[in-house]
Structure 1
């Protein structure tokens, strides 16, 4: 088992997307999406910008990996295709990529421009043709919980990255203890994303490039 940890700098419910019964990581974090295997854990901690630097946003155990085309066409995930004219939850859908005629198509979404494809995000996201799908997850969002000090300063190891990129080299006992702590809360969606209602879900808004 490998445990990956990173800072969720922008928590809109897009990356990760914790809705409709599955937590998915389909955009951003290409190196994690490339490396994570079934049974591995992906952990997102809070941003200092939001005063959540010592808190847990979410944790997901990888249950399967899919290509973008398979994710796009899988009936289980049709509800994760974005609809910018529906609810906020639907507007932040992360099922946004598929191929047509050998070219990547990007659905109008949080990662597109208002009226056109965002080529920079297409290149960044599809550089790794892999979507991570959870079979067990807990997502706290703006109700993020404080991470015990033993996971932040214990024995020279910390779960908190403190910047861009990710951490993935943890001692086996550290990972075991952390997973036991996470799973003690039980699975499911515990709260809405930090920035869910703070900004409009229109395409082209607050895009930037994911880390």
Structure 2
């Protein structure tokens, strides 16, 4: 078991998506999605960037223990996750759905829904989020998680070094500091969803 930490620029409830009983990391963070193994613990920290989650840094947004690893096609066809299909005109919990990418029969190109990572009229430089997300055909799932969103615990200064700066992932070595971080986030006592995403009131992404 490896602990993988990273800093989050945004928290929309999309990556990760903690809804309908499963925490899924299906978009963004290709390095973690590519390398994570069953049993690994993923911990997301609010980043310190001016355009992102600086206002709640250094709070923890979520943690999850990887229990399943699927391809996008497997995710799309699995009926357990049908409610994670995005509905951009629906309530916020459905707007942030991440069950979008898949291959249609006899079509090698990716098909996808309108989602927080694809809007038809939005510019898509170098393929945009779609190209970046599908570069790694692998997503992580867990029923063993706690998602705080914008109300997570604040980590003390001496634990900041367990997280990368500014981007990528970090795999801290076993020891007292990592044990303290595990205790702080409660890796042995998952609570599911305890708060709303930090960016749910951001009018750039959501209306009203």
| 2:79 counterpart of 1:75 | yes
- Report the counterpart of residue 209 of structure 1 in structure 2: none
Match of 1:107 among 100, 107, 113: 113
Residue 19 of structure 1, CA deviation: 0.8
After superposition, residues 53-92 of structure 1 pair within 5 angstroms as: 53-92=57-96
Residue 151 of structure 1, CA deviation: 2.2
Q: Is the contact made by 1:106 and 1:117 (CA closer than 8 Å) also made in structure 2?
A: no
Residue 112 of structure 1, CA deviation: 0.7
Q: Is the contact made by 1:33 and 1:128 (CA closer than 8 Å) also made in structure 2?
A: yes
Structure 2 CA distance for aligned equivalents of residues 177 and 145 of structure 1: 13
Q: Assess, with a 3 A threshold, how the Cα gap between structure 1 residues 40 and 123 changes in structure 2: closer, same or farther.
A: same
Q: Secondary structure at the match of 1:178?
A: helix
Structure 1 CA distance for aligned equivalents of residues 30 and 164 of structure 2: 16
Q: TM-score, structure 1 length as denominator?
A: 0.85
Residue 148 of structure 1, CA deviation: 3.3
| 2:22 counterpart of 1:37 | no
Q: Is the contact made by 1:92 and 1:201 (CA closer than 8 Å) also made in structure 2?
A: no
- Report the counterpart of residue 191 of structure 1 in structure 2: 195
Structure 2, unpaired ranges of 5+: none
Write out per-residue CA displacement over residues 25-72 of structure 1, whole angstroms, 9 at most, x where no aligned residue: 000100100111110011100122432222111111101100000001
Q: Secondary structure at the match of 1:39?
A: coil
| 2:168 counterpart of 1:165 | yes
Provide the aligned length of Structure 1 versus Structure 2.
198
Q: Is the contact made by 1:46 and 1:144 (CA closer than 8 Å) also made in structure 2?
A: no
Q: Secondary structure at the match of 2:56?
A: coil
Greater Cα offset, 44-53 or 12-21: 44-53
Match of 2:129 among 118, 121, 133: 121
Q: Is the contact made by 1:54 and 1:160 (CA closer than 8 Å) also made in structure 2?
A: no
Q: Runs ≥4 in structure 1, deviation > 4 angstroms? A: 115-118
Match of 1:140 among 144, 148, 155: 148
After superposition, residues 16-55 of structure 1 pair within 5 angstroms as: 16-48=16-48, 49=50, 50-55=54-59
Q: Secondary structure at the match of 1:125?
A: helix
RMSD between superposed Cα atoms in Å? 2.1
Write out per-residue CA displacement over residues 100-151 of structure 1, whole angstroms, 9 at most, x where no aligned residue: 2121012111111235895322211111110100131111111121113442
